[in-house]
């Protein structure tokens, strides 16, 4: 492998892989995408991430970097120049707040969202929907506080760390909304996040790699099959 060669091991449907892809596109980094096959793990993946055995894995100069948010931070630091936008905030406090909400999205918000697809019965689904509603409202407030009137979470006119952390879930959020018959981002309940989501999805670094919702919905039915009646 050449000294500056970049490869990304992952799957088109993974929100965590999407994070790495967005960061690479933001930095205008050329890379080779190594698509994993659903239901199996390649030898390269297992060799590159022997601890968790999960994607994504970024391979840069023959050295693997694992875990999506860590990869995003690595990309920001490894390709750091005045001609490229910074992904992480520069101020330590803003950086800490962004990491706090990114962890909240992964550990709380997404767990609730996924439970809608795995719910057994309407009662469980209603509980999960209410939980996502509550946690999305918290993220609406977080956006207002963090963005400071700007288009993105980091208080600037370009996508940053927390935008990537949350925005990578937007395709799956649409899939869940279709499955639940319930909209979580709209102009009434979450006006700021609703506008932000449109801007994020239409950003030149995101739009070409955002998965098609119909294709993603088909994949979701395979990943989360409905229990037989």
Annotate 93-117 with three-state secondary structure: HHHHHHHHHHHHHHHHHHHHHHHHH
Q: Are 220 and 175 in contact (CB under 8 A)?
A: yes
**Are the C-beta atoms of 20 and 56 separated by less than 8 Å?**
yes
Q: Mean pLDDT, to the nearest integer, of 9-33? A: 97
Given a contact cutoff of 8 angstroms between Cβ atoms, the answer to whether 62 and 10 are in contact is no
Domain 6-79 has CATH 3.40.30.10: yes
Secondary structure of residue 229 in the 3-state scheme = coil
pTM for the predicted model, two decimal places: 0.94
- Which residue ranges make up each domain of the chain? 6-79, 92-223
Residue 229 has pLDDT above 60, yes or no: no
What is the spatial distance between Cα 168 and Cα 17, in angstroms, rounded to a whole number? 9
**Per-residue model confidence as pLDDT tens digits over 47-77:** 999 999 999 999 999 999 999 999 999 999 9
* Cα–Cα distance measured from residue 155 to residue 142, given in angstroms and rounded to the nearest whole number: 12
Comparing 3-12, 139-148, 202-211, which segment has the lowest mean pLDDT?
A: 3-12
Side-by-side strand order, sheet with 57-60: 32-35, 6-10, 57-60, 63-66
Average pLDDT, the chain: 94
May I ask the CATH class of domain 92-223? mainly alpha
């Amino acid at each position: 492998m050449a000294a500056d060669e970049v490869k990304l091991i992952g799957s088109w449907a993974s929100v965590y892989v999407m994070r790495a892809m967005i960061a690479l596109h933001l930095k205008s980094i050329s890379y080779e995408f190594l698509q994993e096959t659903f239901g199996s793990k390649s030898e390269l993946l297992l060799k590159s991430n022997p601890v968790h055995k999960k994607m994504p894995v970024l391979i840069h100069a023959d050295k693997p970097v694992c875990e999506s948010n860590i990869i995003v931070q690595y990309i920001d630091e490894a390709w750091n120049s005045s001609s490229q936008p910074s992904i992480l905030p520069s101020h330590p406090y803003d950086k800490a707040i962004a990491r706090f909400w990114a962890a909240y999205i992964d550990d709380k918000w997404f767990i609730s969202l996924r439970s809608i697809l795995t719910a057994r019965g309407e009662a469980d689904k209603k509980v999960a929907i209410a939980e996502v509603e509550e946690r999305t409202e918290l993220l609406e407030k977080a956006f207002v506080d963090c963005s400071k009137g700007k288009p993105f979470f980091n208080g600037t006119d370009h996508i940053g760390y927390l935008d990537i952390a949350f925005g990578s879930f937007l395709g799956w959020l649409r899939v869940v909304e279709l499955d639940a018959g319930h909209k979580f981002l709209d102009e009434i309940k979450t006006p700021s996040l609703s506008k932000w989501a449109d801007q994020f999805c239409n950003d030149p670094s995101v739009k070409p790699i955002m998965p098609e919702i119909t294709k993603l919905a088909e994949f979701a039915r395979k990943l989360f099959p409905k229990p037989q009646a």
